[in-house]
């Protein structure tokens, strides 16, 4: 073999190796490009996903903005309503104050009228007394009954202007209790003399005489019962005159509301004796 042939074979092998090397390089580049395309597709897919999420998030933000605007409008409406309610409440309070003042004024007028009516009624009873517990008969003459008692028990010749039985008979434990006998004498002096003598004059009988009080005076007197009973236990002299209590000659000023509460409590806890209700509490002194 000549040297030229050997050189030709060597060049041919070298070309083949170079060609194989180029092919291998191309194949690697193809694989690399293919991997890059796959990676690019993955990135594009993720980007699309992020874009969708961003779009959805942007939509939610838009909805929140709309809700915030609506809530702002609602808050403005509520604030306006509260302002109107406050104005209405202030107006109502002013009206209530005006009504309260008017009621106080009316109550004052009513109280004054009640006092005036009570004074007139008291004046109409200034000579009247009540005989309590005296047996009642169908044939009795009330004026004669009173005159007889005053003459026999009080040793008094008193002119009786009017006399009558008042109220309804009471049946307590099967026993009928007689009605009060209301009588009116002609002179105020006779009335007070009877009241002064009654305790001694009627100490041996089961009936008694009391002042004929108005409903208002009777309620007031009964309301003071607890205080007056305590004063009497202490040996003090108690007298009821013209709707007022006098203890040892001094007028007793009382918190009537407190005394009425005390009286109600006493009535709830203390059994009443027959005939103790009503005008029997009008006994003077």
Answer whether 275's CB lies under 8 Å from 170's CB.
yes
pLDDT at 60 exceeding the cut of 70: yes
Q: Model confidence over 31-46: pLDDT tens digits?
A: 888 888 888 888 888 8
Beta bridge partner(s), residue 172: 175
> Which of 53-62, 78-87, 113-122, 140-149: highest mean pLDDT?
140-149
Answer whether 239's CB lies under 8 Å from 245's CB.
yes
Beta bridge partner(s), residue 35: none
Mean pLDDT for the chain overall? 83
**What φ, ψ does residue 187 adopt, rounded to 5°?**
-125, 135
- 273 vs 62, more confident: 62
Of all residues in the chain, the percent with pLDDT exceeding 70 is 84
pLDDT at 78 exceeding the cut of 50: yes
Over residues 78-99, the mean pLDDT reads 87
Burial (CB count within 10 angstroms: exposed 0-12, middle 13-18, buried 19+), residue 175: exposed
* Secondary structure of the chain as H, E, C letters: CCHHHHHHHHHHHHHHHHHHHHHHHHHHHHHHHHHHHHHHHHHHHHHHHHHHHHHHHHHHHHHHHHHHHHHHHHHHHHHHHHHHHHHHHHHHHHHHHHHHHHHHHHHHHHHHHHHHHHHHHHHHCCCEEEEECCCCCCCCCHHHHHHHHHHHHHCCCCCEEEEEEECCCEEECCEEECCEEEEEECCHHHHHHHHHHHHHHCCCCCCEEEECCCHHHHHHHHHCHHHHHHHHHCCCCEEEECCEEEECCEEECCCHHHHHHHHHHHHHHCCCCCCCCHHHHHCCC
Per-residue pLDDT at 51:
83
pLDDT at 222 exceeding the cut of 90: no
pLDDT at 281 exceeding the cut of 50: no
* Secondary structure of 223-258 as H, E, C letters: HCHHHHHHHHHCCCCEEEECCEEEECCEEECCCHHH
pLDDT at 280 exceeding the cut of 60: no
pLDDT at 279 exceeding the cut of 80: no
Per-residue pLDDT at 109:
86
Answer whether 190's CB lies under 8 Å from 211's CB.
no
Beta-sheet pairing, 128-132 with 180-185: antiparallel
Per-residue pLDDT at 274:
44
Per-residue pLDDT at 282:
43
Per-residue pLDDT at 272:
47
Crossing angle of the two packed helices 188-201 and 142-154, in degrees rounded to 10: 60
15-19, 70-74, 215-219, 270-274: lowest mean pLDDT where? 270-274
Q: Model confidence over 129-138: pLDDT tens digits?
A: 999 999 999 8
- 1 vs 53, more confident: 53
pLDDT at 87 exceeding the cut of 80: yes
> Which of 22-26, 115-119, 156-160: highest mean pLDDT?
156-160
**What φ, ψ does residue 166 adopt, rounded to 5°?**
-120, 145
Q: Measured in whole angstroms, how far is the alpha carbon of residue 129 from the centre of its chain?
A: 43
Per-residue pLDDT at 210:
94
Per-residue pLDDT at 32:
85
pLDDT at 228 exceeding the cut of 50: yes
Answer whether 221's CB lies under 8 Å from 213's CB.
yes
- The residue written with tokens 């002299």 in the block is 237
Of all residues in the chain, the percent with pLDDT exceeding 90 is 32
């Amino acid at each position: 073999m000549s040297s030229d042939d050997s050189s030709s074979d060597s060049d041919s092998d070298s070309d083949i190796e170079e060609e194989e090397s180029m092919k291998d390089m191309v194949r690697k580049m193809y694989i690399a490009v293919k991997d890059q395309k796959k990676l690019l597709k993955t990135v594009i897919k993720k980007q699309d996903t992020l874009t969708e999420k961003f779009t959805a998030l942007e939509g939610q933000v838009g909805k929140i903005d709309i809700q915030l605007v609506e809530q702002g409008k609602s808050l403005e409406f509520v604030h306006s309503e509260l302002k109107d309610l406050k104005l209405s409440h202030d107006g109502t309070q002013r009206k209530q104050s005006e009504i309260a003042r008017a009621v106080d004024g009316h109550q004052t007028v009513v109280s004054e009228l009640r006092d005036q009516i009570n004074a007139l009624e008291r004046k109409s009873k200034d000579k009247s007394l009540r005989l309590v517990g005296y047996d009642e008969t169908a044939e009795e003459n009330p004026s004669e009954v009173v005159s007889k008692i005053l003459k026999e028990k009080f040793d008094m010749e008193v002119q009786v202007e009017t006399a009558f039985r008042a109220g309804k008979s009471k049946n307590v434990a099967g026993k009928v209790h007689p009605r009060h006998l209301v009588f009116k004498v002609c002179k105020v002096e006779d009335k007070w003399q009877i009241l002064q003598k009654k305790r001694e004059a009627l100490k041996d009988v089961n009936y008694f005489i009391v002042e004929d009080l108005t409903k208002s005076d009777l309620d007031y007197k009964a309301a003071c019962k607890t205080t007056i009973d305590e004063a009497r236990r202490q040996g003090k002299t108690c007298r009821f005159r013209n709707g007022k209590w006098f203890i040892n000659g001094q007028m007793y000023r009382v918190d009537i509301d407190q005394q009425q509460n005390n009286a109600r409590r006493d009535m709830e806890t203390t059994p009443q004796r027959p005939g103790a209700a009503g005008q029997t509490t009008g006994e003077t002194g």
